[in-house]
Structure 1
Amino acid sequence: MGEEIMEQLMSDIREAVWNHDSKKVKALVEQAVAEQVDINTIVNDGLVSGMNALGAKFKSGEVFMPEILVSARAMGAGMAVIKPLLAQAGIKEKGVFLIGTVKEDLHDIGKNIVNAIFEGSGYKVVDLGINVPSEKFIEAIEEHQPDIVGLCALLTTTMVNMKETTAAIKNKFPGTKIIVGGAPITQNFADEIGADAYAQDAAVAVEKANMLIGA
């Protein structure tokens, strides 16, 4: 496939993600796979790039959360095609990423976007869901031995639970690397509670994770 044609295909994937057209995303990703486009290129230049651009528009107020949600589902349709091929392509897992939204917080949109981007970047993702108490994080860390733990909060009222969970994890597993994020979270808050990194969006979360484990 010529470079111009491949770039157009990646552009079409990004546009389909923006337009939250799951069927088109799936079809375009299948086409890219059939034409032997590199898996990492499909994920990073197509799916992730499309989602990141939307994330920037969300921050600037050009798009709103419902659009982010349906576009994340469209990206997921593309990732469903890619996931079985990662092992076949010889792409080794970078590590295990365990994630959950803290206790009393019922939001999962941002978390789901993070999940998709981590999977596309080569991590095995263990998703504990929403409203996760610190005890459940502790049990899951014992079971899955993750390289990185991600804590999410979308409400200012649940920031205290993020602080409690971080303290509980660090007390039980001092070497565990913790990344925190969500709308009310800041670098200062992350430093205050003893997290290893703060990520303002999913792309930054992957970068920070790679740095923390030397991937």
Structure 2
Amino acid sequence: MADKDILSELKQSILDFDEDAALELAQESLAQGIDPVEAVGVLADGLNELGVKFERMEVFLPEIMLASDAFKNALSVLEPEIKKKNTEGKKAIPIVIGTVQGDIHQVGKDMVATFLATAGFEVYDLGVDVAPSRFLEEAKRLGAKVIAAASLMSTTRPVQKDLIDFLEAKGVRDQFIVLVGGGVVTQEWADQIAADGYGQDAIATVNLAKRLLHVA
């Protein structure tokens, strides 16, 4: 099987919500010497394609969750290889990430967390429905200088501002880089709430984190 065929099949495993195929094809891609970063990118393409279909109501939440499980299966094979390359001889920078309070969407947040981890960051995923106080508590406990807060609902987007206001009220705003993202978030919103950066997608968030942290 040619490399391009493996990658095509890998993407298709996401579109088919096939956990077993995703795992096997991820293993095969490594056996064939395919760059695991490229393989993860193909997986992300599959999830993004499903995301568009979800917005058009061509697929529904149960299918998205199954695709996410297939993605995680493949990632369990690919991520260790990427981290091995990216963290060799370097101490990983800790980042805390979560979906804000009142919002239980996780697929997009999971993808960003994955790409940050594969880029060599030490990612602490706080999950969903995370209160501003918990973001701060965990960031302090883990020594993280970056807090990434996702919102996928217009009703929960203001919690990103609440987070920044909370850090200000505690007198620690200048100690953290706050990144915001999610389907309802824009650069204009990030500017309005004085976030340090806005990640339009997973890859953009990784590049932004690297730039703000002066990581090569």
**Which TM-score bucket, shorter chain as reference?**
0.7 to 0.9
Cα shift at 1:104: 2.5
Q: Which residue of 1 aligns with 2:177?
A: 177
Letter in 1 for 2:172: K
> SS of the residue aligned with 2:122?
strand
TM-score relative to the length of structure 2: 0.83
Taking only the aligned residue pairs, the percentage that are identical comes to: 29
Letter in 1 for 2:86: I
Q: Which residue of 2 aligns with 1:161?
A: 159
Q: Which runs of 5+ in 2 are unaligned?
A: none
Which one of the candidate residues 16, 21, 24 is aligned to 2:13?
Answer: 16
Q: Which residue of 2 aligns with 1:102?
A: 100
Q: Which residue of 2 aligns with 1:80?
A: 76
Query: Are 2:42 and 1:50 aligned?
Result: no
Cα shift at 1:132: 1.5
> SS of the residue aligned with 1:149?
strand
Query: Are 2:195 and 1:195 aligned?
Result: yes
Separation in structure 1 between the aligned mates of residue 48 and residue 120 of structure 2, nearest angstrom: 17
Q: 4+ residue stretches of structure 1 with deviation over 6 A?
A: none
Separation in structure 2 between the aligned mates of residue 104 and residue 48 of structure 1, nearest angstrom: 26
Q: Which residue of 2 aligns with 1:119?
A: 117
- CA RMSD of the aligned region, Å? 2.5
Query: Are 2:77 and 1:90 aligned?
Result: no
**Pair 20,121 (structure 1): closer, same or farther in 2 beyond 3 Å:** farther
The alignment of Structure 1 onto Structure 2 pairs a total of residues equal to 210
**Pair 91,56 (structure 1): closer, same or farther in 2 beyond 3 Å:** same
What whole-Å deviation, never above 9, does each CA across 1:97-128 have from its counterpart, x for those lacking one? 21112222233232223222323333322011
Instruction: Please tell me whether the aligned partners of residues 19 and 73 of structure 2 are also in contact (alpha carbons under 8 angstroms).
Output: yes
Letter in 2 for 1:10: L
Which one of the candidate residues 15, 28, 31 is aligned to 2:28?
Answer: 31
Q: Which runs of 5+ in 1 are unaligned?
A: none
Cα shift at 1:64: 4.4
TM-score relative to the length of structure 1: 0.83
**Pair 122,179 (structure 1): closer, same or farther in 2 beyond 3 Å:** same
What whole-Å deviation, never above 9, does each CA across 1:69-102 have from its counterpart, x for those lacking one? 3222211101111233335x43217632211122
> SS of the residue aligned with 2:155?
helix
Separation in structure 1 between the aligned mates of residue 80 and residue 68 of structure 2, nearest angstrom: 19
